[in-house]
């Protein structure tokens, strides 16, 4: 991440020549949260806005895991360049991967043979309110999951396996567990006390502009999978329709559905998810992830979850900066996302959870402190994924075993 804010507007995902996703730093061991026992790991995401709606994120998989660089963009409907997955696509792919990883670990613990596994997972979100007035509020709907499993195991064992995997997934807990996220804000290099959102009590985070003297580049000699994150070239039928342009102050209900389909590339836990925003003309993107404790050839699903939350929030920061014509620039953040596990995968007591996410937002601008915090709060209120963390919804689950519904 460049220390020179003046060059920020000139940077794009494409200009670096780097892949959309790559390993930036090698870890010493995969985080314990990817194992089969009790654990707690804090994923740290450092993200910044670059050109347009593009963002770059650096995700640390706990204290011992590898560090991954990922990039995101918005579609043409929102004024993005459509060169990288949208933030909600990262989140959808993270749900797929973590959920499948838990299912495979429980199956191994119980001696259940899995010959084939596909997952269709749809997320629904909506906003009510006015973007131009700044009173829009994000909401989340229950996920819709359809597992297609091939196995010689009996139906009741597969049904228990699926529902226990959902319970054990910290990624799914982002939807089923209600947490109150905390925030810190730094304006022109100085931390201010947050008054309109829960104030973070954690120590000062380091500004990403100070952490990185140069733009992160791929790790030499890394063995990550090819095409970690890529644009497939497939699009939804229909013509792209521009999103709200910020001039309408009427109350609206804006609905967004994200569809994802995943397959196992490696039965030990390498997942590839094809995800797309459910609007006409939207592009498909595929994201690979690695749930193997001894793998580390792709980010874990929880890394995609952490990145998606940070990216979604920065998108709302950018949208409201434009809509409200704030003289604010250089948005970047450091986000701490704690995931936990307790219990045993063999006996049904395994449970995944999430603790409150702690977001440290850095802004530069000529507006007063009150306006900077107003922007922070507006973005947090409308952000689909902060709404997801704050709410509690249960998934709608369907299971097919060897081609038959159970």
pLDDT score of 6: 36
Helices 301-323 and 87-110: crossing angle, nearest 10°?
Answer: 160
Task: Dump pLDDT digits (tens) for 132-179.
Answer: 677 889 999 999 999 999 999 999 999 999 999 999 999 999 999 999
Task: Dump pLDDT digits (tens) for 218-231.
Answer: 999 999 999 999 99
**Cα separations in angstroms, 372 against 97, 187, 225, 283, 385:** 36, 7, 41, 33, 21
Q: Across the chain, what does the average pLDDT equal?
A: 94
Instruction: Choose among 77, 68, 67, 71: nearest CA to 90.
Output: 71
Residue 8: band (very low, low, confident or very high) from pLDDT cuts 50, 70, 90: very low
The DSSP letter of residue 52 is T
Share of the chain above pLDDT 90, in %: 89
pLDDT score of 244: 60
Cβ partners under 8 Å of residue 69, min gap 6: 18, 21, 22, 23, 24, 56, 57, 58, 59, 216, 218
0.85 exceeded by pTM: yes
Taken in order of first residue, the domains within the chain and their CATH numbers are 5-405 (3.30.300.20)
């Amino acid at each position: 991440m460049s220390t020179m804010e003046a060059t920020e507007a000139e940077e794009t995902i494409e200009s670096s020549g780097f892949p959309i996703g790559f390993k930036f730093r090698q870890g010493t061991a995969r985080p314990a949260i990817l194992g089969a026992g009790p654990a707690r790991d804090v994923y740290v995401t450092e993200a910044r806005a670059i050109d347009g709606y593009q963002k770059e994120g650096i995700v640390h998989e706990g204290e011992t895991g590898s560090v991954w660089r990922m990039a995101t963009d918005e579609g043409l409907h929102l004024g993005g360049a459509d060169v990288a997955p949208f933030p909600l696509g990262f989140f959808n792919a993270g749900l797929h991967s973590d959920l499948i990883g838990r299912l495979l670990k429980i199956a191994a613990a119980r001696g259940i043979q899995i010959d084939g596994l596909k997952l269709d997972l749809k997320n629904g979100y909506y906003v009510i309110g006015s973007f131009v007035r700044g009173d829009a509020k994000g909401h989340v709907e229950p996920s819709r999951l359809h597992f297609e499993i091939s196995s010689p195991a009996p139906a009741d064992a597969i049904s228990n396996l699926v529902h226990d995997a959902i319970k054990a997934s910290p990624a799914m807990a982002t939807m089923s567990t209600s947490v109150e996220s905390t925030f810190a804000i730094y304006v022109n290099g100085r931390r201010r006390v947050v008054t309109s959102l829960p104030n973070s009590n954690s120590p000062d985070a380091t500004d990403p502009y100070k952490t990185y003297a140069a733009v992160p580049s791929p790790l030499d000699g890394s063995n990550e999978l090819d095409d970690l994150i890529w644009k497939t070239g497939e699009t939804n039928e229909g013509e792209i329709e521009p999103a709200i342009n910020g001039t309408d102050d009427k109350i609206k209900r804006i609905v967004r559905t994200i569809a994802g389909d995943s397959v196992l590339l490696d039965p030990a836990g390498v997942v590839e998810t094809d995800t797309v925003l459910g609007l006409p003309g939207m592009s498909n993107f595929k994201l690979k992830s690695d749930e193997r404790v001894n793998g580390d050839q792709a980010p874990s699903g929880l890394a995609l979850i952490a990145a998606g939350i940070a990216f979604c929030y920065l998108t709302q920061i950018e949208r409201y900066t434009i809509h409200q014509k704030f003289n604010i620039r250089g948005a970047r953040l450091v986000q701490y996302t704690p995931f936990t596990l307790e219990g045993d995968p063999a006996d049904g007591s395994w449970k995944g959870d999430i603790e409150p996410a702690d977001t440290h937002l850095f802004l530069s601008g000529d507006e007063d402190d009150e306006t900077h915090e107003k922007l922070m709060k507006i973005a947090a209120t409308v952000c689909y994924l902060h709404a997801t963390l704050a709410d509690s919804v249960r998934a709608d689950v369907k299971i097919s075993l060897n081609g038959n519904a159970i």
